[in-house]
Amino acid sequence: MGSNFKYRALIAMSLFKLNAEKNLQKTLDVTKSIAARLITAKTLLAEHHATAKQLVRDNADDATHDKAQNKNRAAQIRIHTLSATLIETDQQILQLENDLTVAADKKQREAAALEVEEIAEGFTSAASDVVTSLAALALQTESMARFLPDAAGLHSFAVRAKAELPGSIEWLTMLIRAYTDDVLAGYAKAALPQVEAAAPPPAPPPPTQWAFSVKPHQVDGCQRYCSNPTRIF
């Protein structure tokens, strides 16, 4: 009754997440650079526009005015290109962040699947040992029951359990394999429930304390004294 779980050796550190993190950081750096260049380009366009207006006021010749207009157009083209590129890099950042989220979920699910399979392998190993032990126990109780009637009840239990356990074990093994598949496919939770800590034992009651008081009483006409214990708490 071996486990033979197909995901037993699945978990390994994926290079995808490392590459995605590097790409994300690189894209963030590029985006910051483009945003800074866009601010500079807009400032330069405002300066060129102000210069062109001043040339008109100064009644500059057409060649000088054309030169200023060319600078305006070049600045506008630069702003358009930088703005479009900035939109693209923002979209890339969103995609990379989503990729990282997916990769993190995948890694968590693989870790949970590995934990489930380790539990399953322990279960199948222990269950196999129990079935073997029950078979041996049934043989011994069968021999004992020939001359010890009290052994008949235990023999009946061992025989019944030996017959019923394999089916239950196979059923649970199938369920736990299916649960592993569900974790990896996203149908089950990515993390297993935590084992609840056992409640601490109740504090022992405080020790009982006694106080003794001496009271006189008459015995044969003579006064005697005796101590009477009194419980405080």
pLDDT tens string 190-204: 888 877 766 677 777
Reported as a pLDDT band with limits 50, 70 and 90, residue 184 is: confident
CA distance 185 to 181: 6
Q: What is the pLDDT of residues 84-133, one digit of tens each?
A: 999 999 998 888 888 888 888 888 888 888 888 888 989 999 999 999 99
Which of 76, 164, 155 minimizes the C-alpha distance to 68? Answer: 76
- The answer to whether the predicted template modeling score (pTM) of the entire model surpasses 0.85 is no
Report the b/e string of 139-154 with b at 16+ CB within 10 A. Answer: eebeeebeeeeebeeb
CA distance 21 to 40: 29
End-to-end CA separation in angstroms for the chain: 61
Q: Is 82 exposed, middle or buried (0-12, 13-18, 19+ CB in 10 A)?
A: buried
Identity of residue 69: Q
Q: The tokens of 98 are what?
A: 């989503």
Strand, helix or coil at 44? helix
